[in-house]
Amino acid sequence: LFQVVHAHKPHFMALHCQEFGGKNYEASMSHVDKFVKELLSSDAMKDYNRARVYLDENYKSQEHFTALGSFYFLHESLKNIYQFDFKAKKYKKVTGKEIYSDTLESTPMLEKEKFPQDYFPECKWSRKGFIRTRWCITDCAFDLVNIHLFHDASNLIAWETSPSVYSGIRHKALGYVLDRIIDQRFEKVSYFVFGDFNFRLDAKAVVETLCAKATMQTIRAADTNEVVKLIFRESDNDRKVMLQLEKKLFDYFNQDVFRDNNGTALLEFDRELSVFKDRLYELDISFPPSYPYSEDSSQGKQYMNTRCPAWCDRILMSHSAKELILKVKNDEKIVIYDHIGPNVCMGDHKPVFLSFRIAAGAGKPIANVHKCCVVQ
């Protein structure tokens, strides 16, 4: 992370985390404070003299707990940065460094919501939801939404239909968030939505393509007759096993297909965002699937054989936000959409980042451009 900061030197930096405290958050939440202090006090971040940190750490409140963490860092060179107060419906100047955790429900500087349990009833203790903040930089107002959508509970169920039932659940939840942030309560502004969307490849189409010449063997539980495993074997070549599929097993014999050329051949199966093409924009993906990486610290590039690799972690934006991004000038590569730590173990998800510049005066058509600085 610090290497990316050093390389791109952003003036305004937003860092969205999901599953804060990890999967075993009750035991691991104690590490969060150390992580936050390291970010705020590190030498790499010394030029960021203002910060806002919002941590949903209250895991005892199952009704509201989302395990989301949103960090915002402002470079000392930035002047007149404002954050929106959703209760007072006005902007307030950002000064100093502030951390909010136990009081998120009563903090007027954000909107936080956990998705209703009936969205995904089989997952009783789901922490999926979103946090929204609103900012104004040099007359340019925009929302930043930290989001965590529902996962695939079973590879076998995901394989049954195209699109999968889980894709439909994510579609419903993302639609809810988009409707929420453009409703009538507040002025409409451009927005960026980024986090773990849990978007998966169309499992049925992927398997049918990867195993086009294979024969399938179905294994059922003796007591319930329920399908518990699918084995795909080559028709010849000594009937070599190509793929084994279980509820939490996706063991394909050749992982290179997910890594070669950044997995570009599989992008045609990344279809979940197409439903929202009229509402959301994404830059071209040129990095490998961001999940599920091995959690073995010596295996930074290796995928786990638990799920089909997919681009779960994304940075999306409204079409008006796309217009805020400064166009490339003189062949200078100003807009960069990439992943972090390609060779380093960073957990089962590989973080992604978007670096861009906001065009001067982009927030208001009639803005006095000469009064606005260019903000990265």
In the chain, where the domains are located: 1-199+262-375
Give me the pLDDT at residue 252, please: 97
Is the Cβ–Cβ distance between 317 and 353 less than 8 Å? no
Is the Cβ–Cβ distance between 134 and 109 less than 8 Å? no
* 40 vs 308: CA distance, rounded Å: 36
Residue 221 structure tokens? 């539980």
Residues 6+ apart with CB under 8 A from 186: 84, 86, 89, 134
* 248 vs 313: CA distance, rounded Å: 20
Is the Cβ–Cβ distance between 37 and 69 less than 8 Å? no
pLDDT in tens, the chain (376 residues): 999 999 999 999 999 999 988 878 888 888 898 999 999 999 999 999 999 999 999 888 888 999 999 999 999 999 989 999 999 999 999 999 999 998 798 999 999 999 988 888 777 778 999 999 999 998 899 999 999 999 999 999 999 999 999 999 999 999 999 999 999 999 999 999 999 999 999 999 999 999 999 999 999 999 999 999 999 999 888 899 999 999 999 999 999 999 999 999 999 999 999 999 999 999 999 999 999 999 999 999 999 999 999 999 999 999 999 988 866 565 566 899 999 999 999 999 999 999 998 866 666 554 443 333 344 4
The topology under which CATH files domain 1-199+262-375 is Deoxyribonuclease I; Chain A (3.60.10)
Give me the pLDDT at residue 21, please: 81
Nearest to 316 by CA among 146, 165, 66: 146
Long-range CB contacts (< 8 A, 24+ apart) of 81-85? Answer: 81/12, 81/50, 81/135, 81/136, 81/137, 82/135, 82/136, 82/137, 83/52, 83/109, 83/133, 83/134, 83/135, 83/136, 84/109, 84/133, 84/134, 84/135, 84/136, 84/141, 84/186, 85/109
Exposure string for 257-294, b = 16+ CB within 10 A, e = fewer: bbbeebbeebeebbbbbebbeebbbbbebebbbbbbbb
Give me the pLDDT at residue 103, please: 77
Is the Cβ–Cβ distance between 128 and 114 less than 8 Å? yes
- Please classify residue 250 by burial: count the beta carbons closer than 10 Å to its beta carbon, then call 0-12 exposed, 13-18 middle and 19+ buried: buried
- The pTM of the full predicted model, rounded to 2 decimals, is 0.93
**DSSP state for residue 253 in the 8-state scheme:** S
* 123 vs 121: CA distance, rounded Å: 5
Is the Cβ–Cβ distance between 230 and 183 less than 8 Å? no
